[in-house]
Amino acid sequence: MQFYPEDAEVPRRLEADGFVLRPLRETDVDLDYEALMDSRETLRVWDQSDWPSDDFTREENLEDLAQHEREHGECRAFTFTVVDPAESECLGCVYLYPLDAILRNMGADEEALGAIADSEAYATFWVRRSRLADGLDERVLAALVDWFEREWRFTRVVFGSNSEDAHQLDLLAAAGFRRLWEFPIPGRETRYVLLGR
């Protein structure tokens, strides 16, 4: 399946209410690493893993960023950093992956996979723990929904979360998203949750 139309330009930047989205680069390693480590407890719930571990290093983060930048350049996946307008602080991250690949990885059956069309995306995002209180995640979600509708050429964008992240699930529900699929997370009692409009 085709992830993003070959004849379509990939949007490069979004300036919104108090933040900017732009492609994540290796050169963002220090800002990104500081945000990750500052929000690691929140990210472990969001990711349903032990990432980032307490001993996660800057060098390991650099490897992750290099992979994200490479995939973005090859249009296999898109990763955007969320930064303040001066681009001096990382506020979070946005990830876009092919929906069919995500469903396969989660163990979807052939019926679910057969319902996926070309250029459907799976989106997930996080913001710094310290910025949840001022509603940054709500503003990021609203900006993403508008941006995807106005500038992107995806057929549909489905957002992902998990059953333990009640805050993000409530945020998505308040924005009009409903549960489309749920899949067990191996080795855990929680479930992946995919939501759409």
The whole domain housing 43 covers 14-160
Residue 131 lies in a domain: yes
**Domain CATH for 77:** 3.40.630.30
| Strands 156-162, 120-127: pairing kind | parallel
Count of domains for the chain: 1
- Backbone dihedral region for residue 174 (phi beyond 0: left; psi -120 to 50: alpha; all else: beta): alpha
Residue 24 lies in a domain: yes
In single-letter form, the type of residue at position 169 comes to L
Residue 165 lies in a domain: no
Residue 69 lies in a domain: yes
Alpha helices in 28-185 (DSSP H): 29-38, 40-47, 58-73, 99-106, 110-114, 136-150, 166-174
What's the pTM value of the predicted model, to 2 decimals? Answer: 0.95
CA atoms in the 13 A half-sphere facing the CB of 168: 26
Peptide bond into 186 cis (omega under 30): no
Model confidence pLDDT, tens digit, residues 77-129: 999 999 999 999 999 999 999 999 999 999 999 988 988 988 999 999 999 99
1: pLDDT strictly greater than 80: no
153: pLDDT strictly greater than 90: yes
Residue 61 lies in a domain: yes
Average pLDDT over residues 188-192: 92
How far is Cα 46 from Cα 44, in angstroms, rounded to an integer? 5
Residue 77 lies in a domain: yes
Residue 191 lies in a domain: no
